[in-house]
Structure 1
Amino acid sequence: MMLNWFMEQTVILTLFCLPMMVSHRIILAKIGAHYTYVLWSAVPILLLISVCQLWFPEGFMSLKLSWLSLPEPAAVMQHYQVLATDTIKLSSMLISSLYLDYLYIAVMSFLFVSMVYQQTQFNPIVASAVKVAETNKGVDILAHASVQSPMLVGLLSPCILVPLNFKSLDINQQQAIIAHEAFHHERKDLWCNVIGCSVLLMFWFNPLMWFAYRRFRHDQELSCDAQVTSEMEKDNKIAYSHALLAYSQHVPLSMLHTHYGDKTILKERIIQMKKQHGKNTLVIMGITLALGVSGLMLNQQVHAGSQAKQAETHVVPTMRIDPIYPAKAATAGLNGYVQLEFDISQSGKVSNVAVIKSSPTGVFDQSATDALSQWVYTESASGVKKAQVQLDFVIHEPAADVERIKVN
């Protein structure tokens, strides 16, 4: 698992979603439901830019902004102690890392299966539903007894499901509800939900992403309300509000399909209908473009920040093979050290190991070189050139009550 990449993206998404959530009411009041919903497209845009940088590091996405470029980190000599009584072992960090990988995959797989299962539950409902009408968008309107609130379902063959009492509503209410769900279909909101769910599955470990996904879905409904009621007279808006009340069911938010009635945001939807904002396609395109440029800059900033962090800590080993203490040196009671220089690939593998300095010369060199060649480091975006490490060969571990001072 590309741990570094995931951590960087978690920071980037948090930097966007947290202010978006905190200032949501202000944003909604200033720019309206349409543009607020468009702002959520920043999340997949940020990830897309980051993926392009990851897959095509030599392409235009990887161009460093001059004011963000950092100098190459200076080589830092890391020290590890090798005891004569040690045996070859794996670092506990490797075991922890493997467990984290398995946990991540297990939870993501469970959520994915749950999402697929949830969608398949509508197949028998759609198959046994009664066709009520057809919209001018070519989407069938089906009625079924188990449906409590109008919804758009089906990625490949979308249809609008309504309760059996749908026909008992006023004709204006019926048309408003159908227009609402038809706009979901026209705007491809089900596929937007797929993208949102995919991001959620990738970053399920971040609690903020769950709240952000729920807010995204609520803004989706507010945007549709704004579209349907933009040209309505006051009486029709009141009728539309009554329809919301009639179908307001406190049902769990589905992963993909839409819910016309959602009790959790009912008050917000009714209030928002009184605050209409215009919608301009050019403005939406401008916002999307601005999000793309901002996403590129934010990725560069986080990348620069990760470089600064790397300058302090570098990558760390996830698997260390301890050198074998030479039998002759142990018998003779010899202590010593070996300073080595090496390269670390993007995947964390060690290569080009060379001895810089050793004492006693030639005693511990081969053992240290053989062991270091088997080390594995954390993955990184560009790897590390000419990393340095010093392995100190010590016969006995110093007593715990002895003060130790490192002298360079």
Structure 2
Amino acid sequence: MINWFMEQTISLSVVCLVLLVLHRFILSKFGAHYTYFMWISVPLLIIADLLQMILPHHFSWFGSNNAASIIQQYYVFASDTAALSAGLFDLLYLPYLYGIVITLLVANIVMEYGYLQRLIQRGCQLDIPSVKLNVLAHPDIESPMLAGFITPSILVPTSFTLLEESQQQAIIQHEIYHYQRGDLWANALAYGLTVLFWFNPLMWLSYRRFRQDQELSCDAQVTASMKAQAKIAYSRTLLAYSQHAPLSMLHTHYGDKTILKERILQMKKQHGKSTLTLIGMTLAIGVGAFMFNQQVFAGNNLSVENKADAMAMPVIRIEPSYPIDAAKEGLNGYVQMSFDISPNGSVNNVRVTKSSPKQVFDASAVEALEQWKYQPSATGFKDLQVQLDYVIHQPDKSVERITVK
């Protein structure tokens, strides 16, 4: 599981970094609709990886289920302070820390849900013709928002009734477009991924940019057919309801002050949108996410002359622990093992065929390999070979080595 998180963190970091760096260029060239849509590549990256794990025989690009004759080689790294690091790692109980942070983030959402429900229950119903959603005014609301999953409602400040009818309609249409597009569910998915990878700052930056692009896209939809004076009135409404409210997955943020200038400027640069183009982008991004995941999957530190000849690749690889005594003494070494893979992808019949120094790293290597998971197959594999190199620094000449061929 730790390996999966690390691999996905690297993949997601690359994708998010590219989207963040190229954001201004994409927004200026293609407009708010397509910029917002580009964020679908983040969940598609996870989906592509899960599909490879669940249905590997449909997505295997690495050959048939014949026995592999190539030794797979992986490195287990440590440093001269490995003993201290290992002790600190055990002391921190990182899995528990991860679980505590997740619990706090989820608890915060639960409390926010209760707060929004109270607002909805105490809101004053407004009679807005031709609007199917409930429109509720509440004195504690500073900016219009769409809230609720099962029965969404539009919450507005009490000052909403003082606006001109055209301004009211623009705000309502903005929130209705959020509802029609399913943005609340998209926000839940985006926030869920961010919570899972809360330790990655790029995920939080991307989540914020995703939510801001969501508002830009709605602005573009509502103001597409507006005249200049109507756009000016809409901009004034944005200014009146601008705020620095924290982002929430439970409601939309009409008055996000942090991008107020950007939203007003985008109204002057209208870009159209095409359903066929969006469908094409979805297919292209989906294929791209799958291809990218395949490259990451194939691009681990496997040392072979021809990677296409590798018949079995681990989908879950547990890192061996570096023996503390070996780390203290600065020992390098390796363990070469043979093993079988059952049809369901589990490892069994692990045998140490060669190791150096003898019996120093064997137990650690065997314990880790027995927990690896491979792609399920029709018949499984027999007599595969793997070599784990334990490395602190360049090995001494006195340490026996073998060359993987």
TM-score tier (shorter): 0.7 to 0.9
Distance (Å, rounded) in 2 between the aligned partners of 1:212 and 1:376: 35
Q: 1:143 aligns with which of 137, 144, 158?
A: 137
TM-score (norm 1): 0.77
1:375 and 2:367 aligned: yes
1:63 and 2:57 aligned: no
- Aligned AA (2:22): S
Q: Give 1:4-403 correspondences, 5 Å limit.
A: 4-58=3-57, 60=58, 62-64=59-61, 74=71, 92=86, 96=90, 99-134=93-128, 136-306=130-300, 308=302, 316-318=319-321, 341-343=337-339, 351-354=348-351, 356=353, 375-377=367-369, 380=372, 382=374, 385-387=384-386
Q: 1:385 to 1:3 in 2, by over 3 A?
A: farther
Distance (Å, rounded) in 1 between the aligned partners of 2:195 and 2:18: 22
Distance (Å, rounded) in 1 between the aligned partners of 2:50 and 2:253: 32
Q: CA deviation at 1:353?
A: 4.1
Q: CA deviation at 1:275?
A: 0.3
More off after superposition, 134-143 vs 164-173: 134-143
Q: Is the 8 A contact 1:350 1:375 kept in 2?
A: no
Q: 1:125 to 1:378 in 2, by over 3 A?
A: farther
Distance (Å, rounded) in 1 between the aligned partners of 2:189 and 2:235: 30
Q: Is the 8 A contact 2:337 2:387 kept in 1?
A: yes
How many residues end up aligned between the 2 structures?
Answer: 359
- Per-residue CA shift, 1:60-116, capped at 9, x if unaligned? 2x32178xxxx975355999xxxxxxxxxxx94896498222222221121112122
Partner of 1:325: none
Q: CA deviation at 1:155?
A: 0.6
Q: Which is higher, the Rg of structure 1 or of structure 2?
A: 1
Q: 1:229 to 1:406 in 2, by over 3 A?
A: same
Q: CA deviation at 1:288?
A: 0.6
Q: Is the 8 A contact 1:78 1:390 kept in 2?
A: yes
Distance (Å, rounded) in 2 between the aligned partners of 1:188 and 1:210: 21
Partner of 1:334: none
Q: CA deviation at 1:387?
A: 3.4
Give 3-state SS (helix, strand or coil) of 1:119's partner: helix
Distance (Å, rounded) in 2 between the aligned partners of 1:55 and 1:145: 50
TM-score (norm 2): 0.77
Q: 1:377 to 1:112 in 2, by over 3 A?
A: farther
Q: 1:237 to 1:227 in 2, by over 3 A?
A: same
Distance (Å, rounded) in 1 between the aligned partners of 2:324 and 2:209: 48
Q: Is the 8 A contact 1:33 1:222 kept in 2?
A: yes
Give 3-state SS (helix, strand or coil) of 2:299's partner: helix
Q: Is the 8 A contact 1:343 1:386 kept in 2?
A: yes
Q: 1:309 to 1:115 in 2, by over 3 A?
A: farther
Identity rate of aligned residues, in percent?
45
Distance (Å, rounded) in 2 between the aligned partners of 1:146 and 1:228: 26
Partner of 2:380: none
Q: Is the 8 A contact 1:37 1:219 kept in 2?
A: yes
Distance (Å, rounded) in 2 between the aligned partners of 1:183 and 1:151: 12
Q: 2:399 aligns with which of 371, 383, 406?
A: 406
- Per-residue CA shift, 1:1-34, capped at 9, x if unaligned? x122111211211221111111211100100000
- Per-residue CA shift, 1:161-199, capped at 9, x if unaligned? 001111101111111011101111111100010110111
Superposed CA RMSD: 3.9
